[in-house]
Amino acid sequence: MTLGLNHFLILAAALFCIGIFGVLTSKSALRVVICVELILNAVNLNLAAFSAYVAPKEAVGASFVIFLMVVAAAEVGLALALIITLNRTSDISAIDSMSRMKG
Amino acid sequence: MSLLSYAWLLPVIPLVVFAIVLATGRKLPEKVVYSLGIGAMAVVFAGSLVALWQTSHGLELNTSFKWLSFGANTFNFGMLVDPLTATMLIVVSFVSLLVQLYSIGYMHGDERIRWFYGAINLFSAAMLGVVLANNWLLMYMCWEVMGLASYLLIGFWYQNADAPPAAMKAFLVTRFGDVGFGLALALMYFNFHTFNFTSVFLMTEMGAVNPTVIAAIALLFFAGAMGKSAQFPLHVWLPDAMAGPTPGSALIHAATMVAAGVYLVARSFPLYEAVPWTLLVVGTIGTITAVMGALIALAQHDIKKVLAYSTISQLGYMFLALGTGSWVAAIFHLMTHAFFKALLFMAAGSVIHGSGTQDLHEMGGLAKKMPWTTATWVLGALSLAGIPPLAGFWSKDEILLSALHSGNYWFLGFGLFTALLTAFYMGRATFLAFFVKPGPDSKASHAHESPWVMTAPLATLAVLAVTAGLIGSPLAGYAFGNFMGEHEAAEPSYLLMAIAIGVAVAGISLAWGSYIKRFFEPDGYFKSWFVTGPLSHKFWIDEVYHHGVVRPVNAIAEGARTADSAVIDAIVRAFGWVGLKISALLAVFDRKGVDGAFDAFGDGVSETGNTVRKIQNGNVQTYLLFMVAAIVVLVAVFAR
Amino acid sequence: MSSDVVFFYIYGLVALAGAIGLVTAPRLVHAVMSLLATLLSVAALYLLMGSEFLAAMQLFVYGGAVTVLALFVLMLTNPEQNSAGRSGRGIVLTAGGLCVVLFGLLSTALMRGQWNIGAVRVHDTESLATILFSRYVLPFELAGLVLTIALIGAIVLAREDDMPDVVASPESQLADEAGDVA
C-alpha cells in the first residue's frame, strides 16, 4: 500500500468538517478565529497534495499555499485585533451575545 | 548488528518521561512521576554501561540518516558512540539518576515536584543528545534544548524575587555565546558542506580548507563553549543560577551542562590542533577564569556561591588542560569533577535542608548534628583540594603534568596557584560550616540530619569521589587514557606530584590556621580585599555589564520606541487624512444621486424583510449554519 | 505498508486528535495547544509530500506566529470570557449532523475520483521559487502589500482610544462635516 493522493484529500476533508463544526458551535470569538485557521489549513493541505501529485514539475499549487498563508496571517492579525477592541469597548468576546446585527 | 545501534533510545527514554509529565500535569500521583523518572534514568544508566562495555572492546558506532534536503543540500542526523561518548553517557546518566533519587527528599512537599522531574528529564534527554550526536548541527539543537531546561530549572521557584532575573540572565548570557556557535555552523557549512565530525576532521587533515577559516570556526565554537561553561567574561550567569533548586544546580550547573562546553572543545579538538594558536587562546581564557574564580570564591559567604565560583574555576582548569593540548586530561578532570562537585552541591543542599540557611556565618558546628553529610562533604572537599589518593588529585595531576610537558610554564604556575587557592577556600568553607564553634546568630542548633534518600546518593558519590581517579592514575597504568585512545602516556613526574600535594596541604593548613586556630584573621587583614574590595564585588564585572551593556541597550530600545511611534503615527495620520477627503467626496455623490434610487428600493426590501426576519436573529453563527446547510445540499447535488 | 503510510497515519491521527481537541477543549489555552498539535502534524505531512519549504513555512507562520498571537490575545482579553462554553444542544446537534453528512459526501466523492496516481515525490523548493518569482511575481508583491495594510489596520484597531486625534478625530470631523452639508 503506497501513500496516495486520496489519503491527503480525505484527511483534509475531515479537518475541514471539524473546522466548520467548530466555527458553528463555539461561543468564544477566539475559538471561531482559530477554527477558521484549521479550515484554511485543510484547504492548504489539499492544494499542496494536488501540487505534489498532479503537477509536481510546476509548483503552482504550492505557490497558492504560500499566498493562502499570507492571507491567513493577515486575517488572523486583523481578527485578533478586532477581538481585543471588542473586548475593550464592550466586554464581549462571546460571539453569540453579539447580536446587534439584528434588523 | 551490535547493541550500540540502539543508542538512539538513550535520549528518547527521558524525553518520553518529559512528554508524559507535560501531558498529565497534576493528574499522576507524585510517586508515579518520580518512579518514572528514576526508572527511566536507571534504564539509561544500564544502557550507558553496555555502551561503555562495548566501546571498551573496540566497538564503535557511527551512523547517519537523511533528515532534510533543500534542493541539492542535504542535512544528516546520526549517532556516534566512541569511548569519549561512552564516558560522558556514564557521567550524565549516573549523576542524573542520583540527583533524581536525592530530589525525592529535597523537593518533598514542593507543589511543583512533578514539573521539576519533567524538567530534569528534559535536560537529561538534551544532554544525552549532545554527547551522542555525530554532527554539530544535531549537537547545536540539543545544546539549545539544554539551555531551555537550564532556564526552566533556574526559574523554578519563580515566586522568589531573584529567580526570574537569574533565569533570564543565564539564558541571555549563554545565548550570547551561542550566537558564536551558530555563526560557526554557518561558516562550517559554507566551507565544508557537511556537519559530520568524521568528514570535517578528514577534510581538515587533508588541508582542504583554509587554516584561517578553521581557526575562525574553532574560536566561534569556543565562544559557544565559553557561554555554556561560564568562562570569563561570560561567567556572570552561573553564580546567579544558584537561585534554582539545589539538586538541579548539582546536575546542571555543576556536573554536566556546564561541562558541555569542555566536551564541545574536546570533541572538536582536531580543528584546534590544525591551528595550534587557537589552543593558546583557549588555555589563556581557561587560566584567567581558573584564577579569577578561585579568588572570588575566597570571599563568598553563601555556601552555594562558594561552590558556584569553585565550579567556574574548575571549568577554567579544564580549558587550561585543553589549552595544553591534552583533551584526555580535560575529560578526565571533567569526569572526576562531575562526581565530587555533584557530591559537594548535594551535601550543601543537605546542609541547607537541615539547617535552613545558606550563609556560612550562620552555620558552624554542624559536624555533630549531620555526621553523614559532614563525612561525605569532607571527602568531596579533600578530593577537590587535591589530596591523594582521592579522585581530584589524579585528574589535577594529569593537567599539571600536561602543562609541564607542553612547556607552557605560565599555565603550570597559575595552575598550581589556583590549586593553592582551591585548597584554601574549600578548607574555609568546611571549617566555617562544620567545625568552628557556632556563633551568636547561628542556626546550627536546630539542624538535623537529612533522610536516607538524600544521604544514600551522597554516600554513593563519595565512594566515586574517592575512587574514580584511580582509573586514570599511573597506579592503574593510565587505563583511562588508553581507553580514550591516547597510547603513549606522559612520563609521570614525582617532583610535580610532591609539589601539588604540598600546595594542597599548605592551602588547607592555612585555612585551618585562620578559621580554627585563629592565628590570624584573613577577613580582618585583607579587609580591603575581602569585605569591601574587588573579591566581594566579584571584580565589578556585573557592574561593568550593567553600565556598559544593559543600560545602553535599554537606551537604544527607548530611542527606537520613540522613533517608531513617530513613524507609525505619521502613517496612520496620513491614512486618516486621505480617507477623510475621499469620504467627503463620496458623501456628496451619495446624497445627491444614490439616495433617491435606494429609498425606493429600500421600501420594497423592507417589505420582504418583514416577512423573513424571523430567521434573522442577529446571530452570525445561525446565518453560517444556514450557509453550511446550503453548501451540503449543493455538494449532494453536484458531487453525487 | 511502506513507512510513508505508517507515518501518514501517525501524523494524520495526531492532526485529527488536535482538531477534535480544538473544538472540544473546555479551556481556550488547551484549544490553542491542540491547534498547535494539528499545525505541527500538517507540517510533517508536507514533509511526507516532499514539500520541505511548505513545511518550514507552516512551522514559522502557523506553528510560530499564529499560535503565539492567539495566546497573546488570550492573555490580553478577559479570562472569564475565554472559557466561554458551547452553544445550545440544538445547534450542536444540527451542526454536527451537517458536518458528518458533508464529510460523508466529500469522502464518497473523493473515493470515486480518478486521482489516485501513486506516489510522486519531488523536492520542489526550487520550482516553487522559480514560479513565485517569475509567473506570480505581481501577486507575490501584492501579498506583501496586503500584509502591510493588515498590519496597519490591526494596529489602528487594537490601539487604545485614549490617544487622541489619531483615530478618534477623523471620525468626529467626518460627522461634523456631514452635519454641515446636511
- The CA distances from residue A28 to B96, B499, C49, C78, in Å, are 44, 75, 35, 11
Mean pLDDT of C91-115: 83
B627 touches C: beta carbon within 8 Å: no
pLDDT band, residue C80 (cuts 50/70/90): low
Q: Which residues contact B55 (CB under 8 A, 6 or more apart)?
A: B4, B81, B82, B83, B85, B86, B483
pLDDT band, residue B342 (cuts 50/70/90): confident
Looking at residue C38, its pLDDT comes to: 93
Q: Which residues contact B615 (CB under 8 A, 6 or more apart)?
A: B622, B626
pLDDT band, residue C181 (cuts 50/70/90): very low
Mean pLDDT of A50-61: 78
Mean pLDDT of B108-123: 85
Q: Would residue B575 be called left, alpha or beta, if left means φ above 0 and alpha means ψ between -120 and 50 degrees?
A: alpha
Looking at residue B614, its pLDDT comes to: 57
pLDDT band, residue A41 (cuts 50/70/90): very high
Task: Provide the chain A residues 44-103 that lie in CB contact (below 8 A) with chain B.
Answer: 95-96, 98-103
Mean pLDDT of B337-348: 87
Q: Would residue B109 be called left, alpha or beta, if left means φ above 0 and alpha means ψ between -120 and 50 degrees?
A: left
pLDDT(C175) > 60: no
Looking at residue C36, its pLDDT comes to: 92
pLDDT digits (tens, 9 = 90+) for C7-47: 899 999 999 999 999 888 888 888 888 999 999 999 999 88
pLDDT digits (tens, 9 = 90+) for B520-537: 666 655 555 555 566 666
Q: How many CB atoms lie within 10 A of CB B602?
A: 12
A1 touches B: beta carbon within 8 Å: no
Looking at residue C131, its pLDDT comes to: 84
pLDDT(B1) > 50: no
pLDDT(A92) > 60: no
pLDDT digits (tens, 9 = 90+) for B394-403: 888 888 888 8
pLDDT digits (tens, 9 = 90+) for B602-621: 777 777 776 666 566 667 77
pLDDT(A73) > 60: yes
CB B465 within 8 A of CB B117: no
Among B572, B580, B632, the residue with its CB nearest the CB of C173 is B580
Among C52, C152, C173, the residue with its CB nearest the CB of B575 is C152
Report ipTM for this prediction. Answer: 0.83
Looking at residue B548, its pLDDT comes to: 72
pLDDT(C116) > 60: no
CB B196 within 8 A of CB B64: yes
d(CA B385, CA B173) in angstroms, rounded, equals: 29
Q: Residue C46: which of C8, C18, C72 has the closest Cα?
A: C8
Pairing of strands B61-70, B73-81: antiparallel
Mean pLDDT of B569-597: 79
Looking at residue A39, its pLDDT comes to: 93
pLDDT digits (tens, 9 = 90+) for B30-55: 888 888 888 988 999 998 888 888 88
Q: Do the Cβ atoms of B620 and A95 come within 8 Å?
A: yes
pLDDT band, residue C169 (cuts 50/70/90): very low
Q: Do the Cβ atoms of C154 and A81 come within 8 Å?
A: yes
pLDDT band, residue C166 (cuts 50/70/90): very low
B160 three-state secondary structure: coil
Among B613, B619, B628, the residue with its CB nearest the CB of A96 is B619
pLDDT(B633) > 70: yes
Mean pLDDT of B211-236: 87
pLDDT digits (tens, 9 = 90+) for B57-73: 777 777 777 777 666 67
pLDDT band, residue A91 (cuts 50/70/90): low
Å between B639 CA and nearest CA of chain A: 14
Higher local confidence (pLDDT), B600 or B160:
B160
Among B71, B583, B635, the residue with its CB nearest the CB of C102 is B635
pLDDT band, residue A14 (cuts 50/70/90): very high
Specify the DSSP element, H or E, that contains C174.
Answer: helix C168-181
Mean pLDDT of B219-248: 85
Kindly state the percentage of chain B with pLDDT values over 70.
89
> How many CB pairs (< 8 A) connect B and C?
67
Task: Provide the chain B residues 247-306 that lie in CB contact (below 8 A) with chain A.
Answer: none
Task: List residues bridging with B359 in a β-sheet.
Answer: B302
Question: Longest C-alpha distance within chain A, in Å?
Answer: 56
Q: Residue B315: which of B227, B216, B217 has the closest Cα?
A: B227
Looking at residue B531, its pLDDT comes to: 56
Mean pLDDT score of chain C, rounded to an integer? 78
B619 touches A: beta carbon within 8 Å: yes
Question: What residues in B contact A96, CB-CB < 8 Å?
Answer: 619, 621
Mean pLDDT of A15-20: 92
Mean pLDDT of B269-292: 88
- The CA distances from residue A52 to C51, C58, C109, in Å, are 8, 16, 21
Neighbours of chain C (3+ CB pairs under 8 A): A, B
Mean pLDDT of B476-490: 66
Higher local confidence (pLDDT), B71 or B424:
B424
Instruction: Look at the pTM and tell me if it is higher than 0.90.
Output: no
Specify the DSSP element, H or E, that contains B511.
Answer: helix B494-515
Mean pLDDT score of chain B, rounded to an integer? 81
pLDDT(B625) > 80: yes
| Highest mean pLDDT: which range of B3-17, B270-284, B457-471, B484-498 | B270-284
Higher local confidence (pLDDT), A82 or B389:
A82
Among B572, B583, B640, the residue with its CB nearest the CB of C156 is B572
Q: Which residues contact B79 (CB under 8 A, 6 or more apart)?
A: B7, B8, B61, B62, B63, B132, B133, B134
pLDDT(A11) > 80: yes
**ω into B29 cis (within 30 of 0):** no
Mean pLDDT of B353-375: 77
Question: What residues in B contact A95, CB-CB < 8 Å?
Answer: 620-621
Q: DSSP for B595-628?
A: HHHHHHHHHHHHHHHHHHGGG--S-HHHHHHHHH
B43 three-state secondary structure: helix
Looking at residue B207, its pLDDT comes to: 80
Place of cell 497534495: A49
d(CA A50, CA A8) in angstroms, rounded, equals: 9
Looking at residue A103, its pLDDT comes to: 44
- The CA distances from residue B75 to B67, B128, C51, in Å, are 6, 21, 15
Q: How many CB atoms lie within 10 A of CB C33?
A: 16
B199: cell is 568528514
pLDDT band, residue B294 (cuts 50/70/90): confident
pLDDT band, residue A15 (cuts 50/70/90): very high
Mean pLDDT of B533-562: 72
Give the nearest chain A residue to C120 (CA atoms).
Answer: A53
Question: What residues in B contact A23, CB-CB < 8 Å?
Answer: 621, 624
Å between B450 CA and nearest CA of chain A: 50
